[in-house]
Amino acid sequence: MLSTVVGLVGRPRVRVREGWGHPGIWLLGVTAAVYVNQVLFTVYVLRVHDGDPGFIAKYLPSGWFAVAGHDPVLRWLADNFPAPDALSLSVLRVQAFLELPFVVFAVLTVCRWYGPELYRRAAGLVLPTVVFYTATFCLIEYSLKNPYTWDDIAIRIGSGIVVGLVVPKLTGPPPEKRVTSTTDLALFLLSVGAVGVLVLSVYDTALLYNLGHVHEMLPLAALAAAVLIGTRLAARRTGAAATSGTAVGPGIDMLTRTVGWFLAYFSVPALAIRYGMIFGAPRLAVVAGVVVTAAAVIRAGRETRRAVFADEPAGALAQVAARRVWAAQLVGSAVAGVAAAFLAYRTAGGYPEFRLLAAAAAFGVVVVTTCAAVDRAYWLRAYWR
């Protein structure tokens, strides 16, 4: 809960000094390093342990270490690698260093797509973010004791120091680039969903040492990559329109603000909430998630109310009627979104994270569609024409 409180009330304390490049580029570099380590780990297991990862798998839960031992390329590389014993660090230690920057750069990339204010807040809160993420990873390491536990904890602390020094120097978005219109919001949410699929794919195939799952995950990951490339190219083309003051109704306005504030509040406690669902505190994690969501909705609602209804006197009949329509729009959209999310969660397969991602995607599609339809049919035609 402490991380949730910091996420809600924390103020950026680190000055962002740009110049070291887009966090997405750093994310790609870390991802490449993760997979290189997986290849080296496979070589190590094939040559030194005859293809059996049991020497380390016995310390960890099921679902890890599906080694790609039958891949001919990896088999050839293992047979011809000159010093396989030197690859022992590929067992857990390298991943312990890479996991934190992988997560942090993914979060910053998403925040950068949304706009400069959110990015500066997320980057400016890097110190508490790194502290809470590192503490979460270290607690998990300690709960999964193995011969490398204390090495991994020390490495994760070192990784946190490095990430804390690098993040303030990364390059944020242009001042005018932000999510404002319905199109912007739809492209942003599609991009976030695609990143979510790719992050979960990396976790399954690499960070859990399941390189043998690559062939199963490849079609979904390729589709997500195609969606991501398409949405980011489209977002770049619509950038000029996004700064031209395109009118939106209060439904999309509040939804856009809610997404931004949710990301702002959620970025610090995200990892604690995610792992709290699995490691012994699911109720507390749910409470934290509800608190973060409620805070974002309340903050966004206040901002939208001031922005949209400020011109009318507080007791004016027109404003009272408009607020009632707005409330009905929000409640109806939320109910429809929750129903869609429930169905998506129940019908989706795979890891719990994939099911949650499917639920979030269904919720987003329904809520955005509903709010946009009401905005267009009522607000933009009847109220402000």
Q: Give yes or no for a contact between 234 and 187, defined as CB atoms under 8 angstroms apart.
A: yes
CA-CA-CA-CA dihedral for 224, 229, 232, 234, to nearest 10: -110
Task: Give the pLDDT of residue 314.
Answer: 53
Mean pLDDT over 231-249 rounds to: 71
Cα angle 351, 356, 358 (rounded to 5 degrees) comes to 95
Mean pLDDT over 226-236 rounds to: 95
Token pair for residue 124?
């400016």
Residue 361 lies in a domain: no
Q: Counting every residue, how long is the chain?
A: 385
Task: Give the pLDDT of residue 96.
Answer: 97
Task: Give the pLDDT of residue 238.
Answer: 80
The per-residue pLDDT for range 13-33, each reduced to its tens digit, is 777 777 888 999 999 999 999
Phi, psi of 281 (to 5 degrees): -135, 55
Task: Give the pLDDT of residue 321.
Answer: 74
Q: Which domain holds residue 182?
A: 8-187
Task: Give the pLDDT of residue 242.
Answer: 47
Q: Give the CB-side neighbour count of residue 192, counting CA atoms within 13 A.
A: 23
Residue 275 lies in a domain: no
Lowest mean pLDDT among 4-18, 132-146, 203-217, 271-285: 4-18
How far apart, in whole angstroms, are the C-alpha atoms of residue 271 and residue 278?
A: 11
Q: How far from the centroid of its chain's Cα atoms is residue 306's Cα?
A: 30
Token pair for residue 123?
């980057």
Task: Give the pLDDT of residue 5.
Answer: 85
Residue 335 lies in a domain: no
Give me the amino acid identity at 3. Answer: S
Using a 10 angstrom Cβ sphere, with 0-12 exposed, 13-18 middle and 19 or more buried, the burial of residue 40 is buried
pLDDT band at 93 (very low <50, low <70, confident <90, very high): very high
Residues in CB range of 199: below 8 A, 6 or more apart: 102, 106
Task: Give the pLDDT of residue 136.
Answer: 94
Residue 206 lies in a domain: no
* Helix, coil or strand: residue 17: coil
Higher-scoring residue by pLDDT: 278, 215:
215
Start-end of H helices in the chain: 2-9, 23-48, 54-57, 72-80, 93-114, 116-124, 126-143, 149-166, 182-202, 214-237, 239-242, 250-266, 270-276, 282-309, 317-347, 352-374
pLDDT band at 306 (very low <50, low <70, confident <90, very high): confident
* Helix, coil or strand: residue 67: coil
Mean pLDDT over 151-168 rounds to: 97
Q: Which of 260, 257, 268 has the alpha carbon at shortest distance from 7?
A: 268
Higher-scoring residue by pLDDT: 330, 350:
330
Give me the amino acid identity at 292. Answer: V
Higher-scoring residue by pLDDT: 197, 6:
197
Task: Give the pLDDT of residue 379.
Answer: 74
pLDDT band at 187 (very low <50, low <70, confident <90, very high): very high
Q: Which of 256, 262, 255, 121 has the alpha carbon at shortest distance from 180?
A: 256
Residue 52 lies in a domain: yes
CA distance to 60, 95, 148, 240, 279, per residue, from 151 (Å): 16, 12, 5, 50, 21
Residue 29 lies in a domain: yes
Count of structural domains within the chain: 1
pLDDT band at 247 (very low <50, low <70, confident <90, very high): low
Mean pLDDT over 282-298 rounds to: 91
Mean pLDDT over 296-306 rounds to: 91
Lowest mean pLDDT among 37-51, 104-118, 126-140, 305-319: 305-319
Please name the residue that has the structure tokens 């589709």.
Answer: 223
How far apart, in whole angstroms, are the C-alpha atoms of residue 95 and residue 84?
A: 18
The per-residue pLDDT for range 63-90, each reduced to its tens digit, is 899 999 899 999 999 999 999 999 999 9
Helix orientation angle between 282-309 and 317-347, rounded to the nearest 10 degrees: 150
Rg (CA), the chain: 23
Q: Give the CB-side neighbour count of residue 186, counting CA atoms within 13 A.
A: 14
Task: Give the pLDDT of residue 243.
Answer: 47
Residue 24 lies in a domain: yes
Residue 225 lies in a domain: no
Please name the residue that has the structure tokens 């887009």.
Answer: 22
CA-CA-CA-CA dihedral for 145, 147, 152, 155, to nearest 10: 150
| pTM, two decimal places | 0.91
**Mean model confidence pLDDT for the chain:** 89
